[in-house]
Amino acid sequence: MLRKTLLSLTLILCYADAYATHQRAAEITYRHLSGLTYEFTIVTYTYAISPADRCELLIVYSDGTNAILPRVNGVAGFTPGNIECAHLGELIEPTIRYSIYQGTHTFPAPGNYTISVEDPNRNLGVVNIPNSVNVPMYVESTLVINPFLGNNNSVQLLNPPIDKGCVGKLFIHNPSAYDPDGDSLSFRLISCRGAGGLDIPGYTLPMASERFTMDGVTGDLIWENPMLQGEYNVAFIVEEWRNGIKVGSVTRDLQIEIGACDNNPPDIFTIQDTCIIAGNTLTFDITAIDPDGNIVTLTANGGPFEVPETPASIIPDPASGNDTVSTSFYWNTKCSHVRRSPFTALFKARDTHPVVSLTSYHSVLITVIGPAVEDLQTEPLGNNINLNWSPYSCQNITGFKVYRRSGAYGYEAGYCETGVPAYTGYQLVGEVAASQLSFGDDNNGLGLVPGIDYCYLVTAVFPDGAESIASNESCAALKRDLPVMTHVSNDSLNLASGHVLTAWSKPVDLDTVQYPGPYKYDLYRFTGGSGQNEQLVFTGNGLNDTLFTDTGINLNESSEAYSYYVHLKSDVVGAIGSSRPASSVFLEIVETDRENKLSWQPNVPWMIDSVLIYRQDPGETAFTLIGTTTTNQYQDTELENGETYCYYLQTMGGYSVPGIVHPIINFSQIACGTPIDNVPPCPPFLSVSTDCETIENLLSWHNRYDSCSYDIEKYYVYYTAVASQEFRRIDSLFDINDTIYTHRNLTYVTGCYYIKAVDDNNNISEASNIVCVDFDACPLYELPNVFTPNGDQINDLMVPINYPAANPKAIVEQVEMTIFNRWGNVVFATNDPLINWDGKHYTNGQDVADGVYFYVCKVFISTFDGIEEIRLQGSVTVMR
């Protein structure tokens, strides 16, 4: 493996010498054409007078194919290397050539592809890339072809990847990233890459007096402040996200020239991020002031200027003048501009300076939002509520979303607020096509509940999922022409009896002409969600007979909830209709360590606003209020294991229309629970240090006490020597105060460890973090270039450097060492990793002559992934 690497490096270096130096900056972008076919564009900035100038570049598609892309910009002519090109690119400065290479490719199938270009070599003298003249330029982009996510075009970087700054002055660069598909973008710095797409050895970020960072949202690359003049290269990746899924990325390798100059970049003043309703015109002013009084030019680019329909403009464009210049932004927005992610308008001010001209940037995020759905109307009809609204002003929507809540909220959209925020309590209940201007809410076929004031909001939905401003709030309630259940409760006057108190509200909107009296109620009881074992338990006479206590059951002895509904009928015409069913509050308890976890799921037609929890402690007769919640669960903690605690719940709620009893109070059954220790301890946090001299690993850990138990009784230690083997338990430690363990008698230090904690009930924790020790935990195997076998007990043997602290036996299985004299004759050979050559000839035991001897050594290193071979060769001098 080492031989192959050395050979590859040799070939690269030879190739670099042949073509000299030229690459400054580069990137790859792509555009979807049709089906699986894409157009790829390579952009490079090169040292213009280099003989290595390219008429064409090799692109690799990662589907097993590659292609040669021609340069497509500039006139025909001869390169500095005297090669004839159909296009020469463009000289943007005397020493900078801008080149565009293009071609199309059809992929064989959907999938994830990495498209890359590698070209020798970078320009000479890049400060933060060692030996940059011999380091290739490598850039790549990723393309995700997924039919379920839709077609994708890469991000376009509108600002060039060549920029300038001054020593000691704040430097900011922004690529002006525009995504034609409206995908969300994120930015992050990465290492510059070279041969084979690997990180460049020795590459570092440029030195900064304060920081060198990149804003993940805006794309501002901030260098505060450059310390040394020279040319620097940095790389960053722009990733595209669609519905939370990564759909592509582009890597840019950027060159920055820092000069020793006394100049300050211009300052830009304009508005902060904003939004605009589609169909309206956005205008604002931008001013640039140069603090040094230089001539300044103000320009703009970004998404608003790239859209195909009514793109934005600035007037004047560019704005240029002494000291201070201003321009005005204009954008007549259209419905086609509506999308979830904002557009970035990037304003660029560049001064004119005799040494180094500096540039500053200011970005404004502009969100184009859909106008509100207008004139929402609601009307009750039977058990449904029908919604209608006016035709929508944008034609490019995909449909409408309908939201509902019980009771009015009074919602009015805030500035730039679209959709329906979760804090309003509204929930999505339906979606309809763009051509449909109505919706019937039947509660998914179950029908709505009388007594509830149902309120609605409607939004329009655009192709990328963006929602418009919400409509006006419209509310309606069903007619109360049927009874409405209000109580299914444990009898509060005698909770221990478990009898069920039921009650309902009589109909107040009953059509007595269609349904003349006299009237009767039939009350039914059942268990389960679908009405198993339904029984008639009560018949009431007249509309006012709305109470019944069911003594036929005991809720405290039941293993499930009971549900009731009341059926109204006329003695004249028969059945009229039924109420919605309501269930008792069934309390369930999960017993765990020093805790009872309470939960309940009442199925009732009214709204429950809060739940009060009462507890009876061991040995007590009274129940005490211990807590209140608005959820369906409660954790009662800090209890005694083995003691029994009893509980009941009191629910508070009601309907949202007047005329029905409020608040509605119901009680659960009485249920008891006994906490038990069944929770394992928290997993410890492990760290490992290595003693290479003694071939030992020292494990130490500390315990984390958060939501889990802390009653630790012992620890288990687990270990595996190599990745191909499973972990095994190697020891048990019963002193819980001793959190240190030395793993001795190892063949090699390599291996992985984790710890588990065990409590006195034999509950075993999850594994701690896994810590692995690999061969690089010890010094690398190195050999000396001189030793003195003269018998003075100092340096008498040829052994590895830094032995015994760097004991090779900690990581080396064996060696195949052969030492030759200058005529190629073998004088010594061994398999011992310590070598231990005493300077004597292996055949006769006589001292070899002083001088230089040569060796070839195969070293077999034990790594966590198995045995790996490296090859060393060099010379050692014998001196006496």
pLDDT digits (tens, 9 = 90+) for 519-536: 999 999 999 766 668 899
Residue 1: the pLDDT is: 33
Residue 104: the pLDDT is: 97
Q: Report the run of H or E that residue 439 belongs to, with start and end.
A: strand 438-441
> In a 3-state reduction of DSSP, which class is residue 447?
coil
Residue 50: the pLDDT is: 86
Rounded Cα–Cα distance for residues 411 and 171 (Å): 45
Residue 706: the pLDDT is: 64
Q: Which two tokens stand for residue 105?
A: 């490719």
* Closest to 442 measured CA to CA, from 403, 386, 485: 386
- β-bridge partners, 857: 817, 872
Number of continuous H segments (helices) and E segments (strands) in the chain: 1, 63
Q: Does position 628 have pLDDT exceeding 60, yes or no?
A: yes
**Mean local confidence (pLDDT), 368-391:** 95
Rounded Cα–Cα distance for residues 854 and 20 (Å): 35
Rounded Cα–Cα distance for residues 627 and 650 (Å): 11
For residue 437, CA distances in Å to 378, 462, 478 come to 12, 16, 22
Residue 118: the pLDDT is: 95
**Mean local confidence (pLDDT), 672-700:** 93
**Mean local confidence (pLDDT), 705-727:** 85
Residue 735: the pLDDT is: 86
Backbone angles phi, psi at 640, to 5 degrees: -95, 125
* Residue 827 and residue 819 in contact, taking contact as beta carbons nearer than 8 Å: yes
Predicted confidence band of residue 709 (pLDDT cuts 50, 70, 90): low
Rounded Cα–Cα distance for residues 437 and 422 (Å): 24
Residue 387: the pLDDT is: 97
How do 812-820 and 826-830 pair as beta strands? Answer: antiparallel
Residue 12: the pLDDT is: 34
Residue 707: the pLDDT is: 61
For residue 623, CA distances in Å to 423, 569, 620 come to 35, 42, 8
Q: pLDDT for 223-248, tens place per residue?
A: 999 999 999 999 999 999 998 899 99
How do 474-477 and 519-527 pair as beta strands? Answer: unpaired
Q: Report the run of H or E that residue 9 belongs to, with start and end.
A: helix 2-19
Predicted confidence band of residue 111 (pLDDT cuts 50, 70, 90): very high
Q: Provide the percentage of residues in the chain whose pLDDT is more than 70.
A: 97
What order of strands is seen across the sheet that includes strand 786-787? 786-787, 866-878, 851-863, 812-820, 826-830
Predicted confidence band of residue 17 (pLDDT cuts 50, 70, 90): very low
Rounded Cα–Cα distance for residues 618 and 834 (Å): 72
Rounded Cα–Cα distance for residues 398 and 244 (Å): 20
Lowest-confidence segment of 29-43, 105-119, 851-865 by average pLDDT: 851-865
Count of Cβ atoms closer than 10 Å to residue 159 Cβ? 20
Q: pLDDT for 531-582, tens place per residue?
A: 668 899 999 999 999 999 999 999 999 999 999 999 999 999 999 999 999 9
**Mean local confidence (pLDDT), 126-152:** 93
Backbone angles phi, psi at 214, to 5 degrees: -135, 130
Q: Report the run of H or E that residue 331 belongs to, with start and end.
A: strand 324-332
* Closest to 233 measured CA to CA, from 173, 317, 185, 288: 173
Rounded Cα–Cα distance for residues 282 and 279 (Å): 10
Residue 724: the pLDDT is: 85
- β-bridge partners, 665: 652
Predicted confidence band of residue 355 (pLDDT cuts 50, 70, 90): confident
How do 696-702 and 685-691 pair as beta strands? Answer: antiparallel
**Mean local confidence (pLDDT), 598-621:** 95
Q: Which residues contact 868 (CB under 8 A, 6 or more apart)?
A: 1, 860, 861
How do 866-878 and 786-787 pair as beta strands? Answer: parallel
Q: Is the dihedral of CA 488, 493, 499, 503 positive or negative?
A: negative
* Closest to 304 measured CA to CA, from 327, 283, 285, 325: 283
Tokens 């582009």 label which residue?
A: 250
**Mean local confidence (pLDDT), 857-871:** 89
Top-ranked range on mean pLDDT: pick from 16-30, 700-714, 850-864: 850-864
Cα-Cα end-to-end distance for the chain:
37
Residue 253: the pLDDT is: 97
Q: Does position 347 have pLDDT exceeding 50, yes or no?
A: yes
Predicted confidence band of residue 49 (pLDDT cuts 50, 70, 90): confident
Q: Report the run of H or E that residue 152 belongs to, with start and end.
A: none
Residue 27: the pLDDT is: 97
* Residue 667 and residue 633 in contact, taking contact as beta carbons nearer than 8 Å: no
Q: Which residues contact 27 (CB under 8 A, 6 or more apart)?
A: 42, 43, 139, 141, 157, 161, 250, 251, 252, 253
* Closest to 698 measured CA to CA, from 767, 756, 753, 757: 753
- Single-letter amino acid, residue 838: D
* Residue 681 and residue 703 in contact, taking contact as beta carbons nearer than 8 Å: yes
Residue 14: the pLDDT is: 36
* Closest to 282 measured CA to CA, from 307, 301, 304, 309: 304
* Closest to 122 measured CA to CA, from 45, 66, 218: 45
Chain length of the chain: 880
* Residue 690 and residue 773 in contact, taking contact as beta carbons nearer than 8 Å: yes
Q: Which residues contact 11 (CB under 8 A, 6 or more apart)?
A: none
> In a 3-state reduction of DSSP, which class is residue 390?
coil
Q: Got the DSSP string for 666-702?
A: EE---EEE------PBPPPEEEEEEETTTTEEEEEEE
Rounded Cα–Cα distance for residues 577 and 279 (Å): 51
> Omega of the bond prior to 833 within 30 degrees of 0, cis?
no
What order of strands is seen across the sheet that includes strand 377-381? 377-381, 384-388, 438-441
Rounded Cα–Cα distance for residues 580 and 485 (Å): 7
Rounded Cα–Cα distance for residues 656 and 448 (Å): 13
* Closest to 673 measured CA to CA, from 601, 599, 603: 599
Q: Provide the percentage of residues in the chain whose pLDDT is more than 90.
A: 78
* Residue 824 and residue 786 in contact, taking contact as beta carbons nearer than 8 Å: no
Residue 780: the pLDDT is: 85
Count of Cβ atoms closer than 10 Å to residue 839 Cβ? 23
Q: Does position 753 have pLDDT exceeding 90, yes or no?
A: yes
For residue 216, CA distances in Å to 174, 185, 189, 538 come to 11, 8, 9, 67
Residue 356: the pLDDT is: 87
Q: Does position 674 have pLDDT exceeding 90, yes or no?
A: yes
Residue 736: the pLDDT is: 82
Tokens 């330029």 label which residue?
A: 137
Residue 189: the pLDDT is: 97
Q: Which two tokens stand for residue 142?
A: 């990723």
Q: Report the run of H or E that residue 273 belongs to, with start and end.
A: none
Q: Is the dihedral of CA 749, 753, 759, 762 positive or negative?
A: negative
Predicted confidence band of residue 142 (pLDDT cuts 50, 70, 90): very high
Rounded Cα–Cα distance for residues 682 and 756 (Å): 9
Predicted confidence band of residue 21 (pLDDT cuts 50, 70, 90): low
* Closest to 252 measured CA to CA, from 129, 179, 344, 159: 159
